[in-house]
Structure 1
Amino acid sequence: MIDDPAFWLPQDGSLIGVLVGAIILYFYTVVLVRLLGKRATAKMNNFDWLIAVATGSLLASGILVPDISIGAAVLGMATLGVCQYAVTKFFAKTDVADDAFKAEPRLLLHKGVWLDEAMVASRITRQEVLSRLRSEGLTSVNDVNWVVIEPDGQLSVIERSELELGQADTMDGVVYDPETLVQKERWPKR
Structure 2
Amino acid sequence: MFFDSWSDIGRVILVGVLAYAGLVVLLRISGNRTLSKMNSFDLVVTVAFGSTLSSILISKDVSLLEGLAALALLVLLQLAITWTSVRSRFVSKAVKTAPTVVLRDGQLLHDALKRVRITEDEVRSAVRQHGHGSLAAIDLAVLETDGSLSVVATDKAGDRSAYGQLRSG
Alignment gaps of 5+ in structure 1? 1-5, 178-190
- The partner residue of 2:15 within 14, 21, 25 is 21
- The partner residue of 1:51 within 42, 45, 58 is 45
- Percent of paired sites with the same residue: 30
- The partner residue of 2:165 within 152, 173, 179 is 173
Match for 1:13: what amino acid? Answer: S
Task: Check if 1:33 corresponds to 2:27.
Answer: yes
Alignment gaps of 5+ in structure 2? none
Q: How many residues align?
A: 169
- Give TM-score scaled by structure 2 length: 0.92
**Do 2:143 and 2:150's aligned partners in 1 also have CA atoms closer than 8 Å?**
yes
- Give TM-score scaled by structure 1 length: 0.83
Instruction: Report the more deviating stretch, 99-108 or 118-127.
Output: 99-108
Q: Distance in 2 between matches of 1:26 and 1:99?
A: 33
Higher helix share: 2
Q: CA RMSD in A?
A: 1.8
Match for 1:119: what amino acid? Answer: L
CA shift for structure 1 position 103 = 0.7
**Do 1:104 and 1:173's aligned partners in 2 also have CA atoms closer than 8 Å?**
no
Match for 1:174: what amino acid? Answer: L
2:89 aligned residue: 95
Q: How does 1:54-133 map to 2 (within 5 A)?
A: 54-133=48-127
**Do 2:86 and 2:92's aligned partners in 1 also have CA atoms closer than 8 Å?**
no
Computing the radius of gyration from Cα coordinates, the structure with the larger value is 1
1:183 aligned residue: none
Q: Distance in 2 between matches of 1:59 and 1:162?
A: 43
